[in-house]
Structure 1
Amino acid sequence: MFTLSMQATVIRRVTGRQRIVRALALLAVPAVLAAGCGDGGDSTTANPTGQVRYYGTDGNMSNTFGDLFKDAPGAINGMTGTTPLTPLGVDFVAKLREVDPKLRDYNYAGESYDAVVISALAAEVAGTTEPAAVAAQINAVTSGGSRCESPAQCLNLIHQGRDIAYRGVSQLAGFTDAGEPAAGSYGTLYFGKNNTIEDGRTEYVPAGDVAGASTKAAPKPGDRKPGQLVIGGLLPQTGSLALMGPPMFAGAELGILDVNAAGGILDSPVKWIPGDDGTSEAVAKKTTQRLIDEGAHVIIGAGASGISTAVLPLAVQAGVILFSPCNTAASLTTAADNGLYFRTAPADGLQAKALTDILMRDGARRVFIVARDDAYGQGLDEGVTSSLHLAGVADVKSFRYNVDKPSFSGLGAQVKEFRADAVLLVGFEESADAIKDIAAAGITVRG
């Protein structure tokens, strides 16, 4: 059972040397809570330095986000955050960079790769490209059978008539009955003085419960019907999440390449149709309809949880699978999906606990949360607030903003009045504007 309050493996990745160094660490949560518990202290003396430390989430913890501060060296020095992330092997990273030589970040690359591979393996087991039949096999190919770690290895087992349990790049456990990981891995990332991620400090901590994986038997496949599986992409090329798009596209495209190199699915190579979700409901709906019209059986996406929520009814009506590599909103666990929605990223309930652990370790006492007013932002805002209160941090304030027209006017004044010592940013590219408004109010960063 993986929890954040027990002994866990912490892995530091040193990408400069192209190697992974593993170290065992004890997350001493009881000690941390003892150091951070209390009623918030005397608000009149809280944070007398006027400095804050920034914290981020999976939507803004990337080198491409740091690029937004080219004219402000050290503006986010010390910013710490979490993202669903697993240690990526040297070979996998090299293959990603063959797909996209300009790649600088790897967030959700493994999850995107696995979403493609799992979909393909499920189609091979189902013996058809019919989406409902493929969907019925997705949970099953991740648990309960012989472990396999590559498309070639898994397809070989399937062709032998054996059940499989795919453990790819991002998976620590099989899927739950709801079609999402029972356990995952979070990376804790740190920005340095040059506003870039310090890779040597990245830590990986498992979270969740492997016992939650589905034990339901999949329906027996019907007669094999050879055909070409078509997978479409609904990932952020434009919009406020576009800075996180390149590793998702690279991961998905690498998955297609590896599956086809292993012989393809149902006697044919898998067809890939890329598409942009625009981090916009209007753009995403248009792209979704285009992919459906072009014969996609599976759509990989969308990027933002709110966008997937908006396009899911279209997918369900058309009877196609929507499989996101990066949706984390807890509300999607129980969405009305007719069994057609899946994700390889763990839900935000786990990330909220991971963020709380970081805040408590740093001794945060007055936490100001700046969050998108959508399914993603609301879920993490509420989850972190609840976890902090349980940990004894009483002083938590939230500022939610319109995702279509973000405005941070006066935000810095509110942070100053609250005497925050920690600011958690639950957002995408627009989080940079929030930080700039806080800085304009005379609040400096505590590295």
Structure 2
Amino acid sequence: MPKFRASRAVVAAASAALLLASSACGSDQPEEATTDSQVRLYGTDGNMANSYAEELEDRASLLNGMKGTLPMTPLQESFKERLRGVDPELTDYTYAAETYDAVVISALAAQLAGTTEPTEIAKQIVGVTTKGERCEDAASCLRLARQGRDIEYRGMSVTRSGFTDVGEPSTASYATLHFTHEKLDDGKTEFVGAGDESAASTKEPPRGRKPRNGKKGDGVPLVLGGLLPKTGDLSLLYGSMGAAATLATKEVNAAGGVLGEPAVWIEGDDGTNPEVAKATVASHVQKGVHVIIGAGASGITRAVLPDVVAAGRLLFSPSNTDAGLTTVDDNGLYFRTAPPDTLQGRALADVILRDGPHKIAIVARKDSYGEGLQENVRAELERAGFAADRVKLLTYEPPADAQAPPVDFSAGAKEIKDYGADAVLIIGFGESAHVITALADAGVQIRH
């Protein structure tokens, strides 16, 4: 079962605060520092998944001892069982809660709007999560929404407080994960709270519309389209996200649907590739999709958002963490259930510093997610008093597509070895497995 760490500090970050946790045994003392000849590995939400081991194939043992953070709340076992009812092969639940909530919140917003018009749905989304009458499942929330009553949805990831004015979580929870025996060890998972409840929106949403004829609105079913990473470097996360979207749609419909009609879910691939994602968006627009759930990667969202806005559709991502998206020009049509990396940067810095490193290398994929989180972690290390000359920043170009050669990090691995780092944080997706193998091939001794 997961462990919870008691909070021990509150650090302001981007108008939010992160509650830092002490170690599981209750001590603030760092773990034994690594020796000069060994390096500890750390990861992030893009690679801390059981399926990441498959990327290393017969070298998966290199992951043993790797730690990292992931936006995640403690998941109810009943929720996991329902997800496995959709996909019995599930081994990861990464962003499942966030995907489920994105679909349910969209359905509730449409019901309150009394229409499936995307711009009207968008006006209701923040209000669905703030103030109002609290409800915790699709059925009870939809029942209240049909009566035109203001609601405060608390679901799988939206648990402590609601969205900010710009449509992202004001608070979040992070899990600290550990690889043991080539898979994540649930017994070592710890959770830390993040954010500031006072940052939740206090604006009054438009009054919910109670349809004149009972349940029905404009007679057009709510159509949701996936823009999730079925293929590409982030595909290791698709299983949990796809299952969660399917489950949420099923449970919304079991509760009577939206505006008297069953909601429709249309799968779609973002390919972790801008061109694939743009083609999927165009297809969804042609099919009449109202709300697009995705994209998986922040960089893909940046690439497709202008297309989505131009088409007057709504984009709702369960996994974008790029802090820069908080201020993106979206015409009020972009939302996310994943917290921005201003919060995760502090959580990662805390995890690394607890192990008492002397020199840290931060390796990031060269895109808005990788470089953004890299800078957030660097800033938090500096804020904690870690000298700038003890941190080395490196980036790599991710493959353009599945046909491109894998990441060649041999030169970077040699730099890290020569630098004498005893901690290496790897910010990337599935392709970052080649960073780990390059380190090992360069003679870097990975601590297990």
Equivalent in the alignment of 1:431? 432
SS of alignment partner, residue 399 of structure 2: coil
Question: Could you tell me how far apart the structure 1 residues matched to 2:441 and 2:424 are?
Answer: 15
Code of the residue aligned with 2:413 in structure 1: it is: G
Equivalent in the alignment of 1:254? 247
Question: Could you tell me how far apart the structure 2 residues matched to 1:71 and 1:396 are?
Answer: 31
Question: Could you tell me how far apart the structure 1 residues matched to 2:29 and 2:189 are?
Answer: 24
Report whether the alignment pairs 1:146 with 2:133: yes
Equivalent in the alignment of 1:274? 267
1:374-413 superposed matches below 5 A: 374-394=367-387, 395-404=390-399, 406-413=407-414
Question: Could you tell me how far apart the structure 1 residues matched to 2:397 and 2:5 are?
Answer: 42
Deviations 1:397-428 (A, max 9, x none): 11111123533121221111110010000000
Q: 1:200 aligns with which of 162, 187, 199?
A: 187
User: Any conservation in 2 of the 1:47–1:419 contact (CA below 8 Å)?
Assistant: no
Equivalent in the alignment of 2:151? 164
User: Any conservation in 2 of the 1:366–1:393 contact (CA below 8 Å)?
Assistant: no
User: Any conservation in 1 of the 2:150–2:207 contact (CA below 8 Å)?
Assistant: no
* Aligned-pair CA distance for 1:250: 0.6
User: Any conservation in 1 of the 2:145–2:208 contact (CA below 8 Å)?
Assistant: no
* Aligned-pair CA distance for 1:27: 3.9
Name the % identity. Answer: 52
Deviations 1:191-212 (A, max 9, x none): 01x2100011111211001111
Q: 2:322 aligns with which of 326, 329, 351?
A: 329
Moved more, 170-179 or 53-62: 170-179
User: Any conservation in 1 of the 2:174–2:194 contact (CA below 8 Å)?
Assistant: yes
User: Any conservation in 2 of the 1:189–1:201 contact (CA below 8 Å)?
Assistant: yes
Question: Could you tell me how far apart the structure 2 residues matched to 1:92 and 1:340 are?
Answer: 29
Structure 1 pair 174–414 and aligned structure 2 pair: CA distance change class (3 A): same
Question: Could you tell me how far apart the structure 1 residues matched to 2:430 and 2:104 are?
Answer: 29
Question: Could you tell me how far apart the structure 2 residues matched to 1:92 and 1:165 are?
Answer: 20
SS of alignment partner, residue 410 of structure 1: helix
Code of the residue aligned with 1:417 in structure 2: it is: D
User: Any conservation in 1 of the 2:362–2:393 contact (CA below 8 Å)?
Assistant: yes
Question: Could you tell me how far apart the structure 1 residues matched to 2:147 and 2:207 are?
Answer: 16
Structure 1 pair 26–212 and aligned structure 2 pair: CA distance change class (3 A): closer
Report whether the alignment pairs 1:320 with 2:313: yes
Structure 1 pair 85–30 and aligned structure 2 pair: CA distance change class (3 A): closer
Structure 2: tracts of 5 or more residues without a match: 10-19, 212-216, 401-406
Question: Could you tell me how far apart the structure 1 residues matched to 2:144 and 2:255 are?
Answer: 12
Equivalent in the alignment of 1:100? 87
User: Any conservation in 1 of the 2:36–2:420 contact (CA below 8 Å)?
Assistant: no
* Aligned-pair CA distance for 1:184: 0.7
1:11-410 superposed matches below 5 A: 12-13=1-2, 23=4, 25-27=6-8, 49-72=36-59, 74-171=61-158, 172-192=160-180, 194-221=181-208, 224-394=217-387, 395-404=390-399, 406-410=407-411
Question: Could you tell me how far apart the structure 1 residues matched to 2:85 and 2:35 are?
Answer: 50
* Aligned-pair CA distance for 1:226: 3.3
Code of the residue aligned with 1:437 in structure 2: it is: A
* Aligned-pair CA distance for 1:227: 2.1
User: Any conservation in 2 of the 1:67–1:195 contact (CA below 8 Å)?
Assistant: no
Structure 1 pair 23–437 and aligned structure 2 pair: CA distance change class (3 A): closer
Question: Could you tell me how far apart the structure 1 residues matched to 2:107 and 2:28 are?
Answer: 48
Question: Could you tell me how far apart the structure 1 residues matched to 2:59 and 2:5 are?
Answer: 36
Using structure 2 for the length normalisation, give the TM-score.
0.90
Deviations 1:350-392 (A, max 9, x none): 0000001101111122110110111101110100001101112
Question: Could you tell me how far apart the structure 2 residues matched to 1:30 and 1:241 are?
Answer: 29
Moved more, 150-159 or 274-283: 150-159
Deviations 1:107-135 (A, max 9, x none): 00000000000000000000000000000
User: Any conservation in 1 of the 2:170–2:200 contact (CA below 8 Å)?
Assistant: yes
User: Any conservation in 2 of the 1:180–1:343 contact (CA below 8 Å)?
Assistant: yes
Q: Size of the alignment, in residue pairs?
A: 418
Code of the residue aligned with 1:226 in structure 2: it is: G
* Aligned-pair CA distance for 1:218: 1.4
Question: Could you tell me how far apart the structure 2 residues matched to 1:272 and 1:210 are?
Answer: 32
User: Any conservation in 2 of the 1:236–1:245 contact (CA below 8 Å)?
Assistant: yes
SS of alignment partner, residue 81 of structure 1: strand
Code of the residue aligned with 1:314 in structure 2: it is: D
Deviations 1:320-340 (A, max 9, x none): 000000000001100000000
User: Any conservation in 2 of the 1:184–1:207 contact (CA below 8 Å)?
Assistant: yes
* Aligned-pair CA distance for 1:73: 5.2
* Aligned-pair CA distance for 1:243: 0.7
Structure 1 pair 441–227 and aligned structure 2 pair: CA distance change class (3 A): same
Question: Could you tell me how far apart the structure 1 residues matched to 2:34 and 2:191 are?
Answer: 30
Code of the residue aligned with 1:60 in structure 2: it is: N
Equivalent in the alignment of 2:16? none
User: Any conservation in 2 of the 1:352–1:383 contact (CA below 8 Å)?
Assistant: yes
Equivalent in the alignment of 2:404? none
Code of the residue aligned with 1:227 in structure 2: it is: V
Structure 1 pair 195–150 and aligned structure 2 pair: CA distance change class (3 A): same
SS of alignment partner, residue 191 of structure 2: strand
User: Any conservation in 2 of the 1:47–1:420 contact (CA below 8 Å)?
Assistant: no
